[in-house]
Amino acid sequence: MSEFVKKVQSKISKLSTEQLELLFDSINSKNSMFSSIIESLSTGLVIVDTKWRIFQKNKAADRLLFLNRRIYDLSENLFVWELVEDENIADFLKSCCDENKTNLSEEFSISNGEKIQFVTISVLPLVTRLEENSNSMEIEGSIITIDDITEKRKQEIILHRMESLASLTNLAASVAHEIKNPLGAISIHIQLLQKTIKKAREKDGLLPQPKFLENYLDVVNEEIENLNKIVLDFLFAVRPVQADMELIECDSLIKRTVDFFIPEFESKNIKVETDFNCEKLRLLIDEKLFKEVLVNLFQNAIAAMKEKNGILSVKTYAKNEKYILSIKDNGCGMTEDVSSRIFEPYYTTKADGTGLGLTKVYKVIKEFRGDITVKSDVGKGTVFYIAIPVPQKNTMLLADNSEAQK
């Protein structure tokens, strides 16, 4: 409150018309400046009363929460979550109201049909002092802030990809070494052919027997095929995964995928056990690619359990600020040598396998900034562990010590 307003507050009944006009001009000027500051903020701002009805907002909030896409009248006293189009954000705000939660933030992804936008929504208490010189405070509502962090997320993804590309230096060096050997063999055999042909022409002009030439040419063709395989492996390893990242509730996605496979599991006499402990936890992933990962791992489990009545266990839990998914089967298992190479391009133990499925799985999980590991015992089964970092702020994760990865 300005000094001028303080002075006239106790004498308002004695003020002249001119003084009252001056007072209201001052108040209007302050209100206008306040409104200008609110509207100029790039951060979305929504102020609600104790019943979570809006009484102040700015244009950034309209833009970031798409409030301007709804036709509404503040006099209708609608709750703030009734004006938000995104279901996850609406549920978050409603839970804050129902559970009287403040001083927390959460991250969301919003799709406007053309692109994915990432925002952080924070809820703070709106507190006022009861008296000028008193320490007594009263909560009159809540302040909701909305920050656009889309560019930040994009930069993090780009940085992660640059780090991945930097790690390819050693891979490129090893590929160069692998290419060097077949090239040397090709060079030697071509030189032998050239010398043989030259000697034949210097003597009687007759070329060697066809079988003699074919032996050298067969070696050349074989080494050319080896070179082609090395190059294809390298291209597959370095080609980036095209991921459209957004915040997804993974437990729900995994449940739907398991349900999709239930008829096939039942036809193969496979019993499915599930234990989901992260129902509302959202991860920054590509939904389509993550589903491909699940499909690949489920198909591998089915193949591993074809000789027995199988048991497939699917479990999720949060630990050390990471979302953990374990997929365990009681199939044939793998030797240590096989399990150490299963993510390599073109490595497969199946007669009709391409050797690319688990390589794709590995690349996708790495694109999500996660890790995938495998434990397997011959004759006992295999378990895949996928760990993906949780991006939300101030999320309290409950450690699950019932199953620790060793």
Do 186 and 388 form a contact (C-beta atoms < 8 A)?
Answer: no
pTM: 0.55
Which residue in this structure is represented by tokens 């056990």? 273
Which residue in this structure is represented by tokens 């090893």? 174
What pLDDT, on the 0 to 100 scale, is given for residue 324?
Answer: 95
Do 282 and 246 form a contact (C-beta atoms < 8 A)?
Answer: no
Measure the CA–CA gap between 210 and 188, rounded to whole angstroms. Answer: 19
What pLDDT, on the 0 to 100 scale, is given for residue 250?
Answer: 94
Closest by CA to 388, choosing from 360, 366, 361, 363, is 366
Measure the CA–CA gap between 176 and 368, rounded to whole angstroms. Answer: 29
What pLDDT, on the 0 to 100 scale, is given for residue 222?
Answer: 79
What pLDDT, on the 0 to 100 scale, is given for residue 75?
Answer: 46
Instruction: Give φ, ψ of 208 to 5 degrees.
Output: -65, 170
- Take residue 150 and report the two structure tokens written for it: 């889309």
Measure the CA–CA gap between 57 and 45, rounded to whole angstroms. Answer: 5
Strands 104-111 and 282-285: unpaired
Instruction: Give φ, ψ of 316 to 5 degrees.
Output: -130, 145
- pLDDT per residue, tens digit, the chain (406 aa), is 445 556 656 667 676 777 777 767 777 777 778 778 888 888 888 888 888 888 888 888 888 876 644 445 554 667 888 888 888 888 889 989 988 888 888 888 887 666 778 888 999 998 876 665 556 668 888 999 998 888 887 777 666 656 555 555 555 666 666 677 777 778 887 887 777 777 776 776 666 665 666 677 777 777 777 777 667 666 655 666 778 888 899 999 999 999 999 999 999 999 999 999 998 888 989 999 999 999 999 999 999 998 778 999 999 999 888 999 999 999 989 988 888 888 876 566 665 555 567 888 888 898 888 999 999 999 899 999 999 998 755 344 444 444 444 4
What pLDDT, on the 0 to 100 scale, is given for residue 400?
Answer: 42
